[in-house]
Structure 1
Amino acid sequence: MSFLPPESLKLELAPDGTLRALLPDRCGMNVQVLRAFPLSRDNQYFVIRDGKNQELGMLESMRDLSEQNTRLLKDSLDNRYFLPQITKIYSIFEKFGSSQWDVDTDRGRVQIASKALHEAITELSPVRFLIRDNEDNRFEIRDVTALDEESQKRFAGR
Protein backbone atom coordinates (compact mmCIF):
# COMPACT_ATOMS: atom_id res chain seq x y z
CA MET A 1 0.00 0.00 0.00
CA SER A 2 1.33 3.42 -0.88
CA PHE A 3 1.08 6.63 1.10
CA LEU A 4 -0.91 9.37 -0.58
CA PRO A 5 0.60 12.86 -0.54
CA PRO A 6 -2.10 15.02 1.09
CA GLU A 7 -1.74 17.75 -1.52
CA SER A 8 -2.51 15.28 -4.34
CA LEU A 9 -5.84 14.14 -2.86
CA LYS A 10 -9.15 15.88 -3.43
CA LEU A 11 -12.27 14.55 -1.71
CA GLU A 12 -15.75 15.58 -2.81
CA LEU A 13 -19.33 14.53 -2.34
CA ALA A 14 -20.89 12.96 -5.42
CA PRO A 15 -24.48 13.94 -6.35
CA ASP A 16 -25.73 10.70 -4.75
CA GLY A 17 -24.10 11.67 -1.42
CA THR A 18 -21.23 9.19 -1.61
CA LEU A 19 -17.61 10.22 -1.24
CA ARG A 20 -15.35 10.52 -4.27
CA ALA A 21 -11.53 10.68 -4.21
CA LEU A 22 -9.73 12.44 -7.04
CA LEU A 23 -6.06 11.58 -7.44
CA PRO A 24 -3.65 12.66 -10.20
CA ASP A 25 -3.81 9.25 -11.89
CA ARG A 26 -7.26 7.93 -10.96
CA CYS A 27 -10.66 8.63 -9.44
CA GLY A 28 -12.22 6.52 -6.68
CA MET A 29 -16.00 6.34 -6.52
CA ASN A 30 -18.09 5.42 -3.46
CA VAL A 31 -14.97 5.87 -1.32
CA GLN A 32 -14.68 4.54 2.21
CA VAL A 33 -12.22 5.85 4.78
CA LEU A 34 -11.01 3.46 7.48
CA ARG A 35 -8.71 3.91 10.42
CA ALA A 36 -5.76 1.54 10.12
CA PHE A 37 -5.44 1.53 13.93
CA PRO A 38 -8.89 2.55 15.22
CA LEU A 39 -8.19 2.03 18.91
CA SER A 40 -4.56 3.03 19.32
CA ARG A 41 -4.05 5.74 16.68
CA ASP A 42 -7.47 7.07 15.77
CA ASN A 43 -6.07 10.33 14.34
CA GLN A 44 -3.35 8.79 12.19
CA TYR A 45 -3.12 6.35 9.28
CA PHE A 46 -6.28 6.37 7.20
CA VAL A 47 -6.89 3.77 4.50
CA ILE A 48 -8.80 5.06 1.45
CA ARG A 49 -10.75 2.40 -0.49
CA ASP A 50 -13.03 2.66 -3.49
CA GLY A 51 -16.49 1.10 -3.83
CA LYS A 52 -14.94 -2.15 -5.12
CA ASN A 53 -12.92 -2.39 -1.90
CA GLN A 54 -9.69 -1.64 -3.78
CA GLU A 55 -7.19 0.38 -1.78
CA LEU A 56 -6.33 3.72 -3.30
CA GLY A 57 -3.69 4.37 -0.66
CA MET A 58 -3.11 5.54 2.88
CA LEU A 59 -2.98 8.98 4.45
CA GLU A 60 -0.58 9.33 7.34
CA SER A 61 -2.55 12.15 8.97
CA MET A 62 -5.04 14.95 8.33
CA ARG A 63 -2.42 17.55 9.14
CA ASP A 64 -1.74 18.81 5.60
CA LEU A 65 -5.18 18.30 4.09
CA SER A 66 -7.27 21.19 2.84
CA GLU A 67 -10.11 22.37 5.06
CA GLN A 68 -12.70 20.72 2.78
CA ASN A 69 -10.80 17.41 2.66
CA THR A 70 -10.42 17.43 6.45
CA ARG A 71 -14.15 18.05 6.95
CA LEU A 72 -15.18 15.31 4.49
CA LEU A 73 -12.69 12.85 5.96
CA LYS A 74 -13.89 13.55 9.52
CA ASP A 75 -17.56 13.25 8.49
CA SER A 76 -16.86 9.90 6.83
CA LEU A 77 -15.00 8.62 9.89
CA ASP A 78 -17.72 9.85 12.27
CA ASN A 79 -20.34 7.95 10.28
CA ARG A 80 -18.26 4.78 10.20
CA TYR A 81 -16.96 4.82 13.77
CA PHE A 82 -19.98 5.88 15.79
CA LEU A 83 -18.71 5.35 19.34
CA PRO A 84 -20.69 7.01 22.14
CA GLN A 85 -18.63 7.90 25.21
CA ILE A 86 -20.03 6.77 28.56
CA THR A 87 -19.96 9.75 30.93
CA LYS A 88 -21.99 8.45 33.91
CA ILE A 89 -23.14 5.03 35.12
CA TYR A 90 -26.46 4.91 36.97
CA SER A 91 -26.60 1.13 37.32
CA ILE A 92 -25.21 -2.17 36.06
CA PHE A 93 -27.14 -5.37 36.77
CA GLU A 94 -26.10 -8.85 35.76
CA LYS A 95 -28.60 -11.68 35.75
CA PHE A 96 -28.68 -15.09 34.06
CA GLY A 97 -25.70 -14.43 31.82
CA SER A 98 -26.77 -11.02 30.56
CA SER A 99 -26.34 -7.50 31.87
CA GLN A 100 -28.34 -4.30 31.83
CA TRP A 101 -26.66 -0.92 31.94
CA ASP A 102 -28.27 2.47 32.56
CA VAL A 103 -25.77 5.13 31.48
CA ASP A 104 -25.33 8.66 30.22
CA THR A 105 -23.29 9.09 27.06
CA ASP A 106 -22.14 12.10 25.10
CA ARG A 107 -25.20 11.34 22.91
CA GLY A 108 -27.72 11.13 25.78
CA ARG A 109 -28.99 8.63 28.35
CA VAL A 110 -29.30 5.03 27.15
CA GLN A 111 -30.03 1.55 28.43
CA ILE A 112 -27.59 -1.08 27.20
CA ALA A 113 -28.38 -4.79 27.09
CA SER A 114 -25.27 -6.93 26.79
CA LYS A 115 -23.92 -10.41 27.36
CA ALA A 116 -22.32 -11.29 30.65
CA LEU A 117 -19.99 -8.52 31.77
CA HIS A 118 -16.81 -10.53 31.22
CA GLU A 119 -17.89 -11.02 27.58
CA ALA A 120 -19.17 -7.49 26.96
CA ILE A 121 -16.22 -5.50 28.33
CA THR A 122 -12.85 -5.25 26.62
CA GLU A 123 -10.03 -3.59 28.54
CA LEU A 124 -8.02 -1.44 26.13
CA SER A 125 -5.78 -0.03 28.87
CA PRO A 126 -5.98 0.06 32.67
CA VAL A 127 -8.40 3.02 32.42
CA ARG A 128 -9.98 2.62 28.96
CA PHE A 129 -12.78 0.15 28.22
CA LEU A 130 -14.95 -0.83 25.28
CA ILE A 131 -18.46 -2.20 25.92
CA ARG A 132 -20.28 -4.13 23.20
CA ASP A 133 -24.06 -4.60 23.45
CA ASN A 134 -26.21 -7.45 22.14
CA GLU A 135 -26.63 -5.71 18.78
CA ASP A 136 -22.87 -5.16 18.36
CA ASN A 137 -23.09 -1.45 19.13
CA ARG A 138 -19.99 -0.22 20.91
CA PHE A 139 -19.65 2.24 23.78
CA GLU A 140 -16.43 3.55 25.25
CA ILE A 141 -15.24 4.58 28.67
CA ARG A 142 -12.20 6.57 27.60
CA ASP A 143 -10.92 7.09 31.16
CA VAL A 144 -12.72 5.37 34.02
CA THR A 145 -10.91 7.63 36.52
CA ALA A 146 -12.57 10.67 34.91
CA LEU A 147 -16.04 9.36 35.80
CA ASP A 148 -17.71 10.60 38.99
CA GLU A 149 -17.00 8.58 42.14
CA GLU A 150 -20.34 6.72 42.16
CA SER A 151 -19.93 5.70 38.51
CA GLN A 152 -16.42 4.44 39.24
CA LYS A 153 -17.72 2.34 42.16
CA ARG A 154 -20.51 0.87 40.03
CA PHE A 155 -18.07 -0.01 37.27
CA ALA A 156 -15.51 -1.46 39.71
CA GLY A 157 -18.23 -3.55 41.35
CA ARG A 158 -19.28 -5.05 38.06
Structure 2
Amino acid sequence: MTTPTYQKLERNALGRLVLTDAAGTLHEAVVPVRAHPISAPDEGLSLVGQDGHELAWIDRLSALPAPDRALLEAELASRDFMPTILSIKAVSTYSTPSQWTVQTDRGETQFILRTEEDIRRLGEGRLLIASSHGLQLMLPDRFALDKGSKKILERFL
Protein backbone atom coordinates (compact mmCIF):
# COMPACT_ATOMS: atom_id res chain seq x y z
CA MET A 1 0.00 0.00 0.00
CA THR A 2 1.22 3.50 -0.86
CA THR A 3 1.91 5.76 2.10
CA PRO A 4 0.70 9.31 1.37
CA THR A 5 3.35 12.05 1.43
CA TYR A 6 1.12 14.20 3.58
CA GLN A 7 -0.37 14.04 7.08
CA LYS A 8 -3.99 14.99 6.54
CA LEU A 9 -6.50 15.90 3.83
CA GLU A 10 -9.85 17.55 4.62
CA ARG A 11 -12.37 20.16 3.47
CA ASN A 12 -12.57 23.56 5.10
CA ALA A 13 -15.80 25.49 5.86
CA LEU A 14 -15.81 26.84 2.28
CA GLY A 15 -15.66 23.32 0.82
CA ARG A 16 -12.07 23.64 -0.42
CA LEU A 17 -9.48 20.93 0.05
CA VAL A 18 -6.91 21.59 2.76
CA LEU A 19 -3.73 19.55 2.93
CA THR A 20 -1.50 19.30 5.95
CA ASP A 21 1.94 18.32 4.67
CA ALA A 22 4.49 16.07 6.39
CA ALA A 23 6.00 19.12 8.17
CA GLY A 24 2.59 20.14 9.55
CA THR A 25 2.08 23.15 7.25
CA LEU A 26 -1.50 23.84 6.09
CA HIS A 27 -2.12 24.40 2.37
CA GLU A 28 -5.58 25.67 1.41
CA ALA A 29 -7.40 25.35 -1.91
CA VAL A 30 -5.43 22.28 -2.99
CA VAL A 31 -6.33 20.92 -6.42
CA PRO A 32 -5.94 17.25 -7.45
CA VAL A 33 -4.57 16.76 -10.98
CA ARG A 34 -4.44 13.40 -12.72
CA ALA A 35 -1.24 12.57 -14.60
CA HIS A 36 -3.11 10.37 -17.11
CA PRO A 37 -6.84 11.16 -16.82
CA ILE A 38 -7.91 8.98 -19.74
CA SER A 39 -5.44 6.12 -20.01
CA ALA A 40 -4.80 5.55 -16.28
CA PRO A 41 -7.21 7.59 -14.13
CA ASP A 42 -6.32 5.68 -10.92
CA GLU A 43 -2.58 6.11 -11.32
CA GLY A 44 -0.50 9.21 -10.73
CA LEU A 45 -2.28 12.01 -8.93
CA SER A 46 -0.64 15.28 -7.95
CA LEU A 47 -1.97 17.55 -5.22
CA VAL A 48 -1.20 21.09 -6.36
CA GLY A 49 -1.18 24.24 -4.24
CA GLN A 50 -2.51 27.68 -5.12
CA ASP A 51 0.88 28.66 -6.55
CA GLY A 52 0.74 25.77 -9.04
CA HIS A 53 3.48 23.74 -7.36
CA GLU A 54 3.08 20.11 -6.45
CA LEU A 55 2.62 19.52 -2.72
CA ALA A 56 2.14 15.76 -2.75
CA TRP A 57 2.21 12.84 -5.17
CA ILE A 58 -0.11 9.84 -4.97
CA ASP A 59 0.91 6.73 -6.92
CA ARG A 60 -2.53 5.07 -6.83
CA LEU A 61 -5.80 6.66 -5.82
CA SER A 62 -7.23 3.24 -4.93
CA ALA A 63 -4.42 2.68 -2.39
CA LEU A 64 -5.44 5.67 -0.24
CA PRO A 65 -7.48 5.34 2.95
CA ALA A 66 -11.22 5.45 2.15
CA PRO A 67 -11.89 8.97 3.58
CA ASP A 68 -9.05 10.57 1.57
CA ARG A 69 -9.99 8.64 -1.57
CA ALA A 70 -13.63 9.76 -1.25
CA LEU A 71 -12.60 13.41 -0.86
CA LEU A 72 -10.36 13.28 -3.91
CA GLU A 73 -12.86 11.35 -6.05
CA ALA A 74 -15.57 13.91 -5.23
CA GLU A 75 -13.22 16.77 -6.10
CA LEU A 76 -12.15 15.13 -9.35
CA ALA A 77 -15.76 14.37 -10.31
CA SER A 78 -16.67 18.04 -9.94
CA ARG A 79 -13.76 19.05 -12.21
CA ASP A 80 -13.65 16.23 -14.76
CA PHE A 81 -16.74 16.32 -16.92
CA MET A 82 -16.51 13.62 -19.56
CA PRO A 83 -19.84 11.99 -20.44
CA THR A 84 -19.74 8.37 -21.54
CA ILE A 85 -21.55 7.50 -24.78
CA LEU A 86 -23.88 4.53 -24.33
CA SER A 87 -25.44 4.56 -27.80
CA ILE A 88 -25.58 6.63 -30.97
CA LYS A 89 -29.17 7.51 -31.80
CA ALA A 90 -28.72 9.44 -35.06
CA VAL A 91 -26.45 11.61 -37.19
CA SER A 92 -27.63 14.36 -39.50
CA THR A 93 -25.34 13.29 -42.35
CA TYR A 94 -22.55 10.79 -42.96
CA SER A 95 -20.16 13.56 -43.96
CA THR A 96 -18.70 16.16 -41.65
CA PRO A 97 -19.62 18.44 -40.11
CA SER A 98 -22.57 16.48 -38.78
CA GLN A 99 -24.87 16.69 -35.81
CA TRP A 100 -24.88 13.63 -33.57
CA THR A 101 -27.61 12.61 -31.17
CA VAL A 102 -26.25 10.26 -28.52
CA GLN A 103 -27.39 8.66 -25.28
CA THR A 104 -24.82 9.22 -22.53
CA ASP A 105 -24.56 8.25 -18.90
CA ARG A 106 -25.89 11.77 -18.19
CA GLY A 107 -28.83 11.66 -20.60
CA GLU A 108 -29.44 12.31 -24.28
CA THR A 109 -27.44 15.07 -25.91
CA GLN A 110 -26.53 16.48 -29.31
CA PHE A 111 -23.21 17.79 -30.56
CA ILE A 112 -21.49 18.74 -33.80
CA LEU A 113 -18.62 16.58 -35.06
CA ARG A 114 -16.47 18.86 -37.22
CA THR A 115 -14.16 16.27 -38.80
CA GLU A 116 -13.43 12.56 -38.56
CA GLU A 117 -10.13 13.54 -36.92
CA ASP A 118 -12.16 14.61 -33.87
CA ILE A 119 -12.63 10.90 -33.13
CA ARG A 120 -9.47 9.67 -31.39
CA ARG A 121 -8.72 5.96 -31.06
CA LEU A 122 -7.32 5.17 -27.63
CA GLY A 123 -6.83 1.43 -28.08
CA GLU A 124 -8.81 -1.57 -26.90
CA GLY A 125 -11.92 -0.24 -28.65
CA ARG A 126 -11.99 3.02 -26.68
CA LEU A 127 -12.69 6.28 -28.48
CA LEU A 128 -12.54 9.91 -27.40
CA ILE A 129 -14.84 12.17 -29.40
CA ALA A 130 -14.47 15.95 -29.34
CA SER A 131 -17.48 18.13 -30.08
CA SER A 132 -17.23 21.44 -31.92
CA HIS A 133 -17.57 23.19 -28.53
CA GLY A 134 -14.62 21.32 -27.03
CA LEU A 135 -16.64 18.84 -24.96
CA GLN A 136 -14.91 15.46 -24.74
CA LEU A 137 -17.13 12.36 -24.81
CA MET A 138 -15.76 8.91 -23.99
CA LEU A 139 -16.86 5.78 -25.80
CA PRO A 140 -15.36 3.04 -23.59
CA ASP A 141 -15.87 0.07 -25.96
CA ARG A 142 -17.05 0.59 -29.53
CA PHE A 143 -17.35 -3.17 -29.98
CA ALA A 144 -19.94 -3.36 -27.18
CA LEU A 145 -22.31 -0.87 -28.85
CA ASP A 146 -25.68 -1.98 -30.18
CA LYS A 147 -25.88 -2.89 -33.88
CA GLY A 148 -27.39 0.45 -34.99
CA SER A 149 -24.77 2.48 -33.13
CA LYS A 150 -21.95 0.40 -34.61
CA LYS A 151 -23.30 0.91 -38.12
CA ILE A 152 -23.38 4.69 -37.70
CA LEU A 153 -19.95 4.85 -36.08
CA GLU A 154 -18.27 2.69 -38.75
CA ARG A 155 -19.08 5.31 -41.37
CA PHE A 156 -16.82 7.78 -39.52
CA LEU A 157 -13.89 5.51 -38.65
Structure 1 and Structure 2 fold alike (TM over 0.5): yes
Query: Equivalents in 2 of 1:61, 1:43: separation in Å?
Result: 6
- Per the alignment, residue 133 of structure 2 pairs with 135
Question: Separation in 1 of the partners of 2:90 and 2:43?
Answer: 35
- Given that 1:92 and 1:155 are in contact with CA atoms closer than 8 Å, whether structure 2 keeps it comes out as no
Distance 1:72 1:134 in 2: 32
Report what 1:100 is aligned to: 99
Describe the shift of the 1:43–1:18 C-alpha distance in structure 2 as closer, same or farther (beyond 3 A): same
Provide the aligned length of Structure 1 versus Structure 2. Answer: 154
Q: CA deviation at 1:80?
A: 1.9
**Structure 2: runs of 5+ lacking an equivalent:** none
Q: In the alignment, is the contact (CA less than 8 A) between 1:87 and 1:147 conserved in 2?
A: yes
Q: Give, in angstroms, the shift of residue 144 of structure 1.
A: 0.3
| Aligned-residue RMSD, C-alpha | 1.9
8 Å Cα contact 1:7/1:65 also seen in 2: no
SS at match of 1:131: strand
Q: Which residue of 1 aligns with 2:113?
A: 114
Tell me, yes or no, if the aligned pair for 1:21 and 1:29 is still in contact at 8 Å: yes
Task: For residues 21-73 of structure 1, give each alpha carbon's deviation from its aligned partner in whole angstroms, at most 9, with x where no partner exists.
Answer: 11221322111111111122111110110111111121001234222211111
Q: Which runs of no fewer than 5 residues in structure 1 stay unpaired? A: none
8 A contact 1:101–1:112 mirrored in 2:
yes
8 Å contact 1:85–1:139 — kept in the other structure? yes
Which residue does the alignment assign to 2:27?
28
Structure 1 runs (4+) greater than 4 angstroms displaced: 94-97
Q: Is the 8 A contact 1:121 1:131 kept in 2?
A: yes
The alignment status of 1:66 with 2:65, answered yes or no, reads yes
